Structure 1
Amino acid sequence: MHSADSSRLVVVDYQDVASSKVNLSVQLESAFGGLQSSTSSSPLGIIAIRNVPNFIDAKGKFLSLAHALAHLEPEYLETHLSDPKSMYNAGWSHGKEKLGDKPDVAKASYYFNPISDSPGTTEERERYPASYPCNKWPNEDEVPQLKTFKDAAKTLGKIMHQVVVLLAKHIDAMAERRVKGYTKNFLFEAMRKTEKVKGRLLYYYPLDEKCVDSAAAKEDSWIGWHNDSGFLTSLAGDLYVDDDTGQYLDASEVDPEAGLYVADRSGESIQVTIPQDCLAVQIGECLQILTGGVVVATPHCVRGPRLGWNPDSSIRVARISHPCFIDLKPTFPLTMPAGCSREDVTRVGSGMGRVPPLDERWHDGMTFGDFLHTTFSKYYGLKGFDAK
């Protein structure tokens, strides 16, 4: 059961996020709160921020390059832009992730760190190659169509990181009021100082019968249901293009049921459209733990166009998006505040039947790296996978 109701999406202004004098507790509760939330409607687990300086221009410049990247020669992508050492956490990745026991070929990714080309220390890069990979950028002499790619990626990623830093201060204030034992300004300082920032430029290829079984009925045909497992995720929204030409598509040319879906606290599936002029932020499960369940991660997925939804159109629809994951070190301990119980952390958003329950993947004090390892094992059955 799903519905489209973006009127429930909480939208705030950047100036309010940037101000230390504005209290955003009501808006944050409406966006991120759990079942104990005092809001009248069930939170969607996402907040949109309008009027972010330079965001619209930066988004347009970077996302517009995704089509050219995704259509480079496969040999060049695999030879020059892929990074097996980092388990494909830097550069190009297509068909490396698995859905069950099958490679995921419905989308491709380009991973990069907008904050540093060589994050962490030498020791950290050697010990945790998936967490601190060095960036791999296209050679502009070899692919002149991507001449501005590196600069555009860093510009957008830094904006998205900075907005999360500002929002973190408001989340801190909310958690400090609600939870005994929450460390003052913890999240703000952590997000401000971290070098573990990962941008992911996503290109969703047109779906066909080879990619999905009965795409008309499959709600998560482009990305399966999942929770963000980290701390905070910044979203640049999306755009749709003609895969053959790279031309932007008008909304009338795209299946109205395609796009982002979230599960609200009642478990209902809601289609959410992020306004094109807004940056959005989602909560990760680590932050749910660290706030004692004051803010809660939300299951979400991406639905592709239904096969044959418009029999009069021959356009092969592709989707482009860019989340940016702002996290902490893999050795960081995921410990709930002293005044909270395990039930406070896990009773809300514990899977809702769509994702593996949090209480099966986390115990108090386990490290972020171990949590990712356990989580990926639960999702994909990758028992030998080292997510650290």
Structure 2
Amino acid sequence: MATKARSSPAAVSVSLNDLENGNVSLQQLEEAFGPESLGIIIVSDLPPAFVELRRSLLSYASYLANLPAHELSKVELPATRYNVGWSCGKETLANGRYDTDKGSYYVQPIHDAALEDKAKRLYPNVPEFTTPNVWPDESVLPGFEETFETLCRLIVDVAAVVARNCDRYGVAKLQDYQDGTLEKIVRGSACTKARLLHYFPSKPKDEPKDGRPDSAMAIDDDWCATHRDLGALTGLTSNMFVDEAAHPPHPHADGTLPLLPELDNHPDPKTGLWIKDRSGQTTQVNIPRDCLAFQTGEALEILTRGKFKAVPHFVRGSRHPKAGSIARNTLAVFTQPNLWEMVDETRDFAALGQFVMDKTY
């Protein structure tokens, strides 16, 4: 008898209104985050400001990455292992090479002076999480800081609603789970880290001979290597694809930075985010422009004692011959515990963060 092929899991989609009113079932949460899931949920019906904030910040990503080298060097902080400000070519991929295919801008967008002072006092040797943000001069990227932090605060607010529903699941399914555990982490942490990403246009690579994205992972995860996120919930915007040859990301003569035209689709439909489930199958996840997605990270897997799983994921570059001028911009917001909060019986978040970064940088 022939064995029936296992179907791939799908991303679960819910509305923010249903999350706010507790109308998302425990089964839906398990389908989104549980052991057989993709570890991701897509949230629709966001606050009206989201769409314009997303397009504005993702346009900034192209302008930022195309600044002159001397401007970018002003916002590089080697002492933080390039985890504050601009970073390019500093992260080590699984094959040992440095990642030069994308540039990142790291910010801690949630501010609380008392929590920040406590982190510096208790963890003087963890500059990746205790160093203040740096920003390009306002004359270089006008409005960048305000737009960045405003969008991140909106994403954290939505993440907190997702977290409240995860807490409902924890209370129902886990012995001695304290209600509010995850929501308190999301709302009460000054350690949340945001990463604005610009994937540089690249030369197309050969398609794997059998055409299956999971058959050649070393080729397919060229834009972002296969990894699991560190924190609790990661908020993700959709891709913004920009043809930088047709619309060079340089300021106008008067210094203004117009919003960049966004391609409706990438010429290579397989370009973008892929998730690898526990069986080894890979599934592409497309996030609508007016939605956010939230992925589980390692800290959440530990906090839920494995009930919710952090899954490996990667970003696939283009194989299309006409895609050589197309960049990909996106934003990831990693909601993370404060450094002193325990993620298991022996480790606080600072220890977990250092362990992961030691492998990466």
Indicate whether the TM-score tops 0.5: yes
The Cα shift of 1:7 comes to 8.9
Letter in 1 for 2:134: K
The Cα shift of 1:102 comes to 2.3
Task: Report the Cα distance in structure 1 between the residues aligned to 2:192 and 2:45, rounded to whole angstroms.
Answer: 23
Give the equivalent residue in structure 1 for 2:19: 17
Percent of residue pairs identical: 33
Moved more, 177-186 or 117-126: 117-126
Q: Secondary structure at the match of 2:116?
A: coil
Give the equivalent residue in structure 2 for 1:131: 129
Within-5 A mapping of 1:101-250: 101-116=96-111, 120-121=116-117, 122-124=120-122, 126-141=124-139, 143=140, 146-208=141-203, 218-244=219-245, 245-246=248-249, 247-250=260-263
The Cα shift of 1:315 comes to 4.5
Distance 1:372 1:240, change over 3 A: same
The Cα shift of 1:329 comes to 2.4
Letter in 1 for 2:225: G
> Do 1:6 and 1:273's aligned partners in 2 also have CA atoms closer than 8 Å?
no
Choose the corresponding residue for 2:350, options 339, 363, 369.
369
Q: Which runs of 5+ in 2 are unaligned?
A: 1-6, 209-215, 250-259
Letter in 2 for 1:74: A
Give the equivalent residue in structure 2 for 1:92: 86
Which contiguous aligned blocks of 4+ residues in structure 1 show a shift greater than 4 angstroms? 214-217
Moved more, 24-33 or 238-247: 238-247
> Do 2:8 and 2:281's aligned partners in 1 also have CA atoms closer than 8 Å?
no
Give the equivalent residue in structure 2 for 1:74: 69
The Cα shift of 1:117 comes to 8.6
Task: Report the Cα distance in structure 2 between the residues aligned to 1:124 and 1:134, rounded to whole angstroms.
Answer: 16
Letter in 1 for 2:78: P
Q: Which runs of 5+ in 1 are unaligned?
A: 35-41, 336-363, 383-388
Task: Report the Cα distance in structure 2 between the residues aligned to 1:370 and 1:234, rounded to whole angstroms.
Answer: 23
> Do 1:66 and 1:203's aligned partners in 2 also have CA atoms closer than 8 Å?
yes
Give the equivalent residue in structure 2 for 1:38: none
Letter in 1 for 2:193: K
> Do 2:185 and 2:338's aligned partners in 1 also have CA atoms closer than 8 Å?
no
The answer to whether 1:27 aligns with 2:36 is: no
> Do 1:108 and 1:202's aligned partners in 2 also have CA atoms closer than 8 Å?
yes
For 1:140-167, what per-residue CA distance to the aligned partner results, in whole angstroms no more than 9, with x for missing partners?
12x1xx2111111011000111111111
Choose the corresponding residue for 1:332, options 341, 344, 354.
341
> Do 2:201 and 2:323's aligned partners in 1 also have CA atoms closer than 8 Å?
no
Task: Report the Cα distance in structure 2 between the residues aligned to 1:376 and 1:123, rounded to whole angstroms.
Answer: 21
Equivalent pairs counted in the alignment come to: 329
Bigger relative contact order (CA 8 A; separation at least 6): 2
Letter in 2 for 1:326: T
Choose the corresponding residue for 1:65, options 60, 63, 75.
60
Distance 1:185 1:252, change over 3 A: closer
> Do 1:117 and 1:134's aligned partners in 2 also have CA atoms closer than 8 Å?
no
Distance 1:238 1:289, change over 3 A: same
